Structure 1
Amino acid sequence: MKYNIDKLFRRIPLIVRCTILVTLLTPSFGFAQGNAKKQLTKEDYSLWSNLRVGKLSQSAKWVSFSLFYESGEDTLFVKNSTATKTYSFPGASKGEFIADNWFSAMSSKGELVIVDLLTSKREINAEVIRYDLRVGTKDIILLKKRADGKKDLELKNVVTKKSLLLKDIENYWYNSGRDAVIYTTKSENNTAIGLFNLRDNTTTIINNNPNAFQYSDIVWQKGGKSIAFLLQPLEGSKRIYRTCVGYYRLAEDKFYSFNPSAQDHFPEDMEIITSSFAYLSISEDGKRIFFGLEKAVIPVDLSQVQTWSTKDKYLYTAKVQIDGWDRAAKVAVWWPERNSFKRITDNEFPKLMLSADQKYAFLYNPEQYEPQANREAPLDIYILDLETGTRKLLLQNQLGKEAAISISVYEKYIVYFKDRDWWAYDIVSGQHKNLTKELGVFFSDNESDRPEQASPFGNPGWIQGDKTLFVYDKYDIWSIAIDGRCALRLTSGREEKTTYRIVAQSTQQSFKMNYDGSYKGVFESKDRLLIKAEALEYTGYCFWDKKAGLQPLIDKMMYTSEFIASAKNDSYVYKEENYNLSPRLLIKEKSNSKVKMLFQSNTQQAKYYWGCSKLISYTNSKGSILNGVLFYPANYLAGAKYPMVVQVYEKQSKELYRFVNPSQKNPTGFNIANFNSKGYFVFLPDIVYQVGDPGSSAVDCVVSATKHVIGSESSIDSTRIGLIGHSYGGYETDYIITQTNMFKAAVAGAAITDYVSGYLWATWGFEKPNFWQYEFGQLRIGRSLYEDFASYLRNSPIYHAHKVNTPLLSWTGEKDSQVHYYQSIEFYLALRRLGKIHTMLLYPGEGHVLMDKKNQKDLTRRIEDWFDYYLKGNIKPEWL
């Protein structure tokens, strides 16, 4: 009979389980089990690193990974699958395997290091600017800087050491599908762009011009059949010349040029540019070139009187930056064969996505329904036939968020989410079809405790050959024919209470930018899907394919991540961790059915006492069964009494198995491992909310959870409980201490304290009125201030400040663009007037979280001082 050891392990009581785990792991750390452990101190924190998995060689004989330290002394490693040989590359980046026996990486000194993994011989190539691997070969393409400042392009074979040099090269762009390189050159009198055919080592000059120009933004057509680029005049030549577009077809050796000055209808006040949302691209059939247009930007005159009108679509600050969309880059299309062009976007419709064949554009204006109260307005989306110029309304009042979440483009279809279902629109027939209505499940969160319309769980892509769409419900992955004929549920997550999600394994399976939207992943019928499974008490990975269905690979009471499968066999590597187990790298080879550990990070952990985590279930006053995570103190002794800090922020039970590096540099000043090492329990309770009463919901859940955990763990001293939260958790902290005296001390960071003044403020990070946060979002009132004034007062800590008896430490950043620091000052002034115990820290130049390392250390120290003084009776720190 076979047993699942991991599932049996789950039945063992927590403290016994933690003891077993530490005992099992100690030998792997390299220390004898009998060695005495010691207490962790802040002087030891710098020893800890973060592990990140890198690459897997073709046949999984070698694995690369990196360790990152707060000191910046990072190292890239390569280790063989038998764990007998390790190479290290201090400060290196961009590590790549060449076949199975070589490895290359860029050093921090600009050197390309190439190692023969079998012989350990290293070759150093100095002054390398960048490099690429030539796919399917043992060649490296590298751009090198010479002593005279000029650059050369080199094609080097790592086996034969033979190389081919192209001299005086400015830059290059490699395409593996064409097995060719586009390069640019610059001499005293001339600039040129050329093609280097790697198959026969021949070069072809595509175009050349006086050196008043430079070539930029080179893009390859999919499959490498053609290229496009911008020909830009240098700074001193811009008054004479204009930026042009070049297009070259390799098979025909034919060059096309788009010169704005030679076009009858090209706008005189605009220039060709490239930007994040108006970039140069080539249609898949090579017949259309897309490029950006932009007017010369005149800086906003800050000395002028600002005119704020309630009828403005956007707030003044956003309005002047957009200037009726005049300041926004536009997109145009050019047909090289007939040398004609059209503008696609304009001030009426400034945003677009392209159809998969790039023959149609989907246009919209995000300000059409403005001004309105939500963060994003709904959208009316139009379809434009680029050839005929015909435009018609496609979707009306569509879910907003710039369409990126709810709309996908596939060949002749556009797939969109509306009224809780996925729909497909057939561009050819003009028909809309509901794909999920009859499936009997929700594809957005019907249990959401926010007032806003829930977004869909997701649509990662489709199988192009089968015309089959992937969509998610809360737990499962569905494969649905895009014409709606059939639907298949690939997983059984609903029955198992396990969430399954597809993990992209290639660039083709990943999202790609589509101007103001995205193209979702494209999968092949023969592809084996990699799927991540996550449940409350375990995580894992699976494979799925048409023939074998779902094939479980990992099912562990740990957090697993960064899974990489071999492209040539069934080998794979991944990272696993537990709260009391620092991340480690594991490998399973095709020839070996057992998973084995390849690398253990932070082996010094075995020298120190360490805590462990436990999942807690509790019930609030409404009868809802909720969860939380309790972290035990390092060197925990049953029967002893310990203080506890409760950290709050919505739902945090997913942190059950996450390892936490001890650190003095914490953006919010709080670190679970720090507190455990100092002899504290730490508790993270889940919170659910009633719309209109977020404050009392937080009080109910947190108080119920804290009472439960105190009652179930006798080692927690009920007279020494602290409370801490940041942002929304800071709001919850401030509100909770106005309603209960359970907590002996509290810390609130970047907290919202006044729902009235907060509602009538702007979130400058989004340049939006703050209405949406309260009416639709996280603050969960569900109605406007003037529809439900009482709820805004009832849920504001500021109006209950007279009931605070808990010493409070608050902190905020003076440049916080999400929660204004005046919110903290209001509460400070209220508590000052009432004579309460309160200290506020205001960090100049900092935002919603602290970014300056010096400030991070300062805040971490002060928060720990605060709780040490109030919960442990330590000497009062001087800063208090």
Structure 2
Amino acid sequence: MRKLPCIFFLLLAGLVATAQKKPLTHAVYDGWQSINERYISNNGKWVVYTITPQEGDATLVIQATDNSYRKEIPRGYAAEITDDNRFVICKIRPLFAATREAKIKKKKADEMPKDSLAIVAVGKDSVLRIPRIKSFKTPEKGTGQWLAYLQEKALPVPPIVPQADSTAQLNNLLHMADSLSRVADSLRNKANEAKTKGLATLKAPKKDAKPKAGDPIEEGTELVLRNLYTGEEKKYPLVSDYYFSGPGNTLIIETTRSNADTLKKAAIVWLNTATGKIDTVFRGFNDAKSFGLDEAGTQLAFIAERDSSTKALQKFYKLYYYRTGMDSARMRVDRKSTGIRNGFTVSETAVPEFSKNGQKLFFGLMPVRKPKDTTLVDFETARLDIWHYNDDYLQPQQLVQLNTELQRSYKAVLNGNDDKVIQLGSEDAENITLPDDNNVEYLLATSTKGNRVESQWQGYARTNAYLISTTDGSRKLVKEKQRGFFTMSPAGKYVIWYDGAQKNYFTYSVSTGAIINITKNIKVPLFDEDDDHPDDPPPHGIMKWHENDKYVYLYDKYDIWQCDPEGKKAPSNFTKGEGRLHKNIYRYIQTDKEEKFISDTQTVVFKELNEVSKQTGLKIHSMEGVFFDNGIFGPYQIGLNIIKAKNGNQFVYTKESFNQSPVLTTLYVATEEDTAYEAKKGVERGTVFRDIRSEVALYASNPQQKDYNWLTCELVKWKMFDGKMSEGLLFKPEDFDAKKKYPMIFYFYEKYSDDLYLYRQPAPSASTINIPLFVSNGYLVFVPDISYKKGEPGESAYNSVVSAAKYFTQKPWVDSTKMAIQGQSWGGYQVAYLVTRTNMFAAAEAGAPVSNMTSAYGGIRWGTGINRQFQYERTQSRIGYTLWQRPDLYIKNSPLFNADKVKTPLLITHNDADGAVPWYQGIEYFTALRRLGKKVWLLQYNGEDHNLVERRNRKDLSIRLSQYFDHFLKGAPAPHWLAEGVPATSKGIDWGTELEEKEVGSKR
């Protein structure tokens, strides 16, 4: 590979001496940036990305890949580059401050600041801004000529009140006084009349009833179709939605009726963008949705309802169809159509989809559901959930999935002009997979029905797979009661799955019905050989299929295997065994979101991770040649979001390291065969290389980092108590002085050592310590990998973490009396356990910890509604047995049962809306420790889930974590909440974060 000077290393070399740099504070969070929304033009000449602060106004940047042009759009987002590479269109958000002020004033939705639209001709400086837009769309595959945008409701025009002169004002006052005098006389006369005729004379006269024109609706707004080449615009009123065909030759416009004009009815309009001709294809409906166009933009299918009243409890939708040349759309399917089972109707939630050749129309059917009885009074009817042992899913899971189930559709198809419906999906074949070539006769259907009860303790439901004919709906069984997923090849020729019991991949030939073991001759494991759960290890997975289903590419731990789906040709190691030989893990990166398979001439990208050094890189490979070593590799991390120009060989990605904020980088790879280069390398004749010609940094984020005392990171290896070696990440301050002693925090979960070169932002905490913040303020942080044994999750953490702590007590720059541990969720459990096994830590913080495995075992993960038994037996908790088989293991591994042994101050964070770990687990541990007189605190953020979401709460937790560890590890004064607590009477008034004048409880 040609060696190039990389600006990434120049940036690293440019870091100045660290003397007198500022420590990070909680005030820096908002301005720290991320690089988001990356796009590249089809020709590879232009890149669009956003620079986004954690809080505040982002900036959208349009930049040439050779750095010859750069244009910034303040607050730009949601950008699109037109297919012809000529224009960038994006939205512009209102100012962050303006939106914040409007929220403070509690303005209504219509009064809030609105987005604008920006249109930029790339390479030029001018920007066309259009205010108050809801949305915009461009064709996916067109000339780049057309743009449509929907505007917000027009602001009301305030009435113009003319200013009267002094004479006019005097006359107005006299006129008002005269009017009031007449009103007084009228009221006096009515009162006198009421004395003789009664009070009925005071009633207002009846007004003539006016005919009701219908309930008011939310009217559509103005849609603008703009020709980007000429600037010409055409406007369409009352538009609620709109859709371009793929090539942009057709624009579908949906309009609403008018509240003011009863003659203006809801309509669906077909606009030919080339000719400007408009055809109304459907009119006078209550609701229309789920629009689907064929690839050529000549056929339209949609779902509509036009027969019910707007307040009807039960509505029946129908499938309508239109193609160019028809007078109007015709109804093709309703619930009475031939082929629809009794009790089913057309689904309004499934978008109709045409096959690639336009000859098949797929759509959804759903069960007719009984409407709610509105005659029942809520306060007189029972409200309950009924759990039954034969239910497929437990009631909590059913309730979580309720909306999904109510909207579930079962796929059906129409073939050509035949109006007979072929129902493909059903309750026992609910998942239908359309291959890329969806013109084929057979589709894959899968279902877990009948096998779901076991998922309560297995963690998965076994799957049945069928092939279903699109011509007659008949089924062929592929495999039943299989663990894992079935997938269909892009051309629809094969079904593939991994059999965990046999540890091999199998294919089913659609044409012959044969089942073939295609990996039996591969001698290395295709499953995760490092997996330590008490269950069958999972496979490394499928990389991709080759064009026309010629090969399927499969991963082992390191390499990639090219396998014949017919099993006739022996598998070959596509990466030539380079991965396992050098401990390099190769994983394919899909750079084109529309890619379905790998073609013969494609240039593909692999991300490379060296298992030993943790360095990463990219390997660029042409499918025309043999696998070769050409790419970039070094002491950095490559981001996973790698994009490639559709019609060029430019790649865009980010590079980062522990001390370098992400750098947006473009890589150019030559396309011609370089015979001289080939000869120079001495490779076999005919091999096609892709020569890397340039790597250019486009933008280096967070230049302000240079002003702060940052961190360094190194890989540390040590021997655990069981004699085995482990590794972890040691973070030190940039100004580290080996002559000083530092407090040390151990943070852990499972394994993080592969993230050696990951960049970590200063950011408010969702649940864990922010490593840059703590290290910048004079802490050492160590992140050890945890190795687990069946039935011993707690002791496994002790073996890994405490052995690491003992190792570091031998270092002269570690203050062994000021060490602490911190973790969240599974890490929180391990912290809660460790403080029952050792007193060597000066403080500990456990976020959302399980403290009692016996009570948690049978509980519910409320976020998903699933039972937790499988988690303890087979997955993360790794017990390996049921509670009644080995109750001793559940008790041994539960911190609660050894709460009396805790001497370490413990801070627990557990939120009252936690859907992953039951909130009562934190309460059980807190109340036990409180009763025992231990130093324990519980932070409970109201309405928050497992990890904090609201930024205000994240900032608050960050402050408290700093105060907590500063107090116990640095001897800082205790804040009021830590020293005295905050009573409920002060909630919302006093947050207790002010520091005490003297230390409280600093002795262990």
TM over 0.5: yes
2:654 aligned with 1:575, yes or no? yes
Counterpart of 1:71 in structure 2 is 55
* Per-residue Cα deviation, 1:370-405 (whole angstroms, up to 9, x for no partner): 4221122212223333433433432122114xx37x
Among 491, 495, 502, the alignment partner of 1:414 is 495
Question: Once the 2 structures are TM-superposed, how far is the Cα of residue 636 of structure 1 from its aligned partner?
Answer: 1.4
**CA–CA separation in structure 2 for the residues paired with 1:351 and 1:542:** 36
The 8 Å contact of residues 335 and 346 in structure 2, kept in 1 or not, is answered as no
Determine helix, strand or coil for the equivalent of 1:708: helix
The 8 Å contact of residues 354 and 362 in structure 1, kept in 2 or not, is answered as yes
The 8 Å contact of residues 407 and 417 in structure 1, kept in 2 or not, is answered as no
Counterpart of 1:716 in structure 2 is 814
Report the residue type matching 2:318 in the other structure.
Answer: C
Q: Report the more deviating stretch, 754-763 or 109-118.
A: 109-118
Q: Report the more deviating stretch, 753-762 or 679-688.
A: 753-762
Counterpart of 1:513 in structure 2 is none
Question: What are the residue-to-residue correspondences of 1:258-337 with 2, within 5 Å?
Answer: 258-260=332-334, 262-263=336-337, 266=340, 269-275=343-349, 278-285=350-357, 286-296=359-369, 303-318=382-397, 327=406, 329-335=408-414, 337=417
Q: Which runs of 5+ in 1 are unaligned?
A: 7-17, 28-32, 510-520
Counterpart of 1:682 in structure 2 is 781
Counterpart of 1:554 in structure 2 is 632
Counterpart of 2:97 in structure 1 is none
* Per-residue Cα deviation, 1:639-686 (whole angstroms, up to 9, x for no partner): 1110010001000113311222212x2111420011011110111000
Question: What are the residue-to-residue correspondences of 1:38-77 with 2, within 5 Å?
Answer: 38-52=22-36, 54-77=38-61
Counterpart of 1:15 in structure 2 is none
- Aligned pair count reads 844
Distance 1:225 1:376, change over 3 A: farther
2:755 aligned with 1:655, yes or no? yes
Q: Report the more deviating stretch, 639-648 or 260-269.
A: 260-269
**CA–CA separation in structure 1 for the residues paired with 2:31 and 2:562:** 47
Q: Report the more deviating stretch, 322-331 or 168-177.
A: 322-331
**CA–CA separation in structure 2 for the residues paired with 1:505 and 1:235:** 47
Q: Report the more deviating stretch, 134-143 or 587-596.
A: 587-596
Question: What are the residue-to-residue correspondences of 1:234-253 with 2, within 5 Å?
Answer: 236-237=309-310, 242-250=316-324
Question: Once the 2 structures are TM-superposed, how far is the Cα of residue 760 of structure 1 from its aligned partner?
Answer: 2.0
**CA–CA separation in structure 1 for the residues paired with 2:736 and 2:10:** 15
Counterpart of 1:451 in structure 2 is 534
Question: Once the 2 structures are TM-superposed, how far is the Cα of residue 612 of structure 1 from its aligned partner?
Answer: 0.8
Counterpart of 1:434 in structure 2 is 517
Report the residue type matching 2:331 in the other structure.
Answer: S
* Per-residue Cα deviation, 1:785-837 (whole angstroms, up to 9, x for no partner): 11111111111111222222211111101111111011111111221232222
Q: Report the more deviating stretch, 484-493 or 495-504.
A: 484-493
Determine helix, strand or coil for the equivalent of 1:329: coil
2:749 aligned with 1:744, yes or no? no
2:291 aligned with 1:218, yes or no? yes
* Per-residue Cα deviation, 1:483-517 (whole angstroms, up to 9, x for no partner): 223333222222222221221222322xxxxxxxx
**CA–CA separation in structure 2 for the residues paired with 1:323 and 1:641:** 57
Determine helix, strand or coil for the equivalent of 1:612: strand
Distance 1:53 1:315, change over 3 A: closer
Question: What are the residue-to-residue correspondences of 1:521-560 with 2, within 5 Å?
Answer: 521-536=596-611, 537-548=614-625, 549-550=627-628, 552-560=630-638
The 8 Å contact of residues 26 and 955 in structure 2, kept in 1 or not, is answered as no
The 8 Å contact of residues 357 and 411 in structure 1, kept in 2 or not, is answered as no
* Per-residue Cα deviation, 1:196-235 (whole angstroms, up to 9, x for no partner): 334x32435362232x344321112345453321123387
Question: What are the residue-to-residue correspondences of 1:850-861 with 2, within 5 Å?
Answer: 850-861=948-959
**CA–CA separation in structure 2 for the residues paired with 1:345 and 1:133:** 32
Question: Once the 2 structures are TM-superposed, how far is the Cα of residue 757 of structure 1 from its aligned partner?
Answer: 0.8
* Per-residue Cα deviation, 1:96-155 (whole angstroms, up to 9, x for no partner): 334455432211243221223433122223344312156453423212438767655544
Question: What are the residue-to-residue correspondences of 1:484-523 with 2, within 5 Å?
Answer: 484-486=567-569, 487-491=571-575, 492-509=578-595, 521-523=596-598
More strand by share: 1
**CA–CA separation in structure 1 for the residues paired with 2:270 and 2:450:** 46
**CA–CA separation in structure 2 for the residues paired with 1:103 and 1:822:** 52
**CA–CA separation in structure 1 for the residues paired with 2:342 and 2:712:** 68
Question: Once the 2 structures are TM-superposed, how far is the Cα of residue 728 of structure 1 from its aligned partner?
Answer: 0.4
Question: Once the 2 structures are TM-superposed, how far is the Cα of residue 270 of structure 1 from its aligned partner?
Answer: 4.3
Among 540, 559, 581, the alignment partner of 1:476 is 559
Distance 1:325 1:237, change over 3 A: closer
The 8 Å contact of residues 443 and 467 in structure 2, kept in 1 or not, is answered as yes
Counterpart of 1:516 in structure 2 is none
Q: Report the more deviating stretch, 439-448 or 364-373.
A: 364-373
**CA–CA separation in structure 1 for the residues paired with 2:924 and 2:521:** 52
Counterpart of 1:696 in structure 2 is 795
**CA–CA separation in structure 1 for the residues paired with 2:869 and 2:401:** 21
Report the residue type matching 1:525 in the other structure.
Answer: D
**CA–CA separation in structure 1 for the residues paired with 2:286 and 2:885:** 61
Determine helix, strand or coil for the equivalent of 2:548: coil
Q: Report the more deviating stretch, 557-566 or 581-590.
A: 581-590
**CA–CA separation in structure 2 for the residues paired with 1:4 and 1:163:** 49
2:143 aligned with 1:137, yes or no? yes
Distance 1:701 1:235, change over 3 A: farther
Question: Once the 2 structures are TM-superposed, how far is the Cα of residue 879 of structure 1 from its aligned partner?
Answer: 0.7
Counterpart of 1:598 in structure 2 is 698
Counterpart of 1:518 in structure 2 is none
The 8 Å contact of residues 282 and 328 in structure 2, kept in 1 or not, is answered as no
Q: Report the more deviating stretch, 380-389 or 726-735.
A: 380-389
Counterpart of 2:994 in structure 1 is none
Distance 1:622 1:666, change over 3 A: same
Question: Once the 2 structures are TM-superposed, how far is the Cα of residue 349 of structure 1 from its aligned partner?
Answer: 4.2
**CA–CA separation in structure 2 for the residues paired with 1:146 and 1:689:** 57
* Per-residue Cα deviation, 1:48-104 (whole angstroms, up to 9, x for no partner): 111226122344443222122222321211233454643222221122334455432
Report the residue type matching 1:87 in the other structure.
Answer: K
Distance 1:370 1:598, change over 3 A: closer
Distance 1:555 1:799, change over 3 A: same
**CA–CA separation in structure 1 for the residues paired with 2:344 and 2:140:** 39
Counterpart of 2:226 in structure 1 is 156
Q: Which runs of 5+ in 2 are unaligned?
A: 94-113, 155-218, 258-262, 671-691, 979-1004
Among 240, 243, 252, the alignment partner of 1:182 is 252
Determine helix, strand or coil for the equivalent of 2:587: strand
Question: Once the 2 structures are TM-superposed, how far is the Cα of residue 740 of structure 1 from its aligned partner?
Answer: 1.5
Distance 1:263 1:140, change over 3 A: closer
Among 80, 100, 103, the alignment partner of 2:88 is 103
**CA–CA separation in structure 2 for the residues paired with 1:869 and 1:661:** 24
**CA–CA separation in structure 1 for the residues paired with 2:42 and 2:399:** 53
Distance 1:433 1:809, change over 3 A: same
Distance 1:261 1:629, change over 3 A: closer
**CA–CA separation in structure 2 for the residues paired with 1:88 and 1:236:** 50
* Per-residue Cα deviation, 1:275-308 (whole angstroms, up to 9, x for no partner): 3xx5432333422432232433667999345443
Determine helix, strand or coil for the equivalent of 2:844: strand
The 8 Å contact of residues 216 and 232 in structure 1, kept in 2 or not, is answered as no
Report the residue type matching 1:41 in the other structure.
Answer: T
Report the residue type matching 1:554 in the other structure.
Answer: I
**CA–CA separation in structure 1 for the residues paired with 2:476 and 2:573:** 35
**CA–CA separation in structure 2 for the residues paired with 1:734 and 1:604:** 38
**CA–CA separation in structure 1 for the residues paired with 2:509 and 2:322:** 33
Question: Once the 2 structures are TM-superposed, how far is the Cα of residue 721 of structure 1 from its aligned partner?
Answer: 0.7
The 8 Å contact of residues 413 and 424 in structure 2, kept in 1 or not, is answered as no
Superposed CA RMSD: 3.3
Counterpart of 2:268 in structure 1 is 193
2:430 aligned with 1:360, yes or no? no
TM-score (norm 1): 0.88
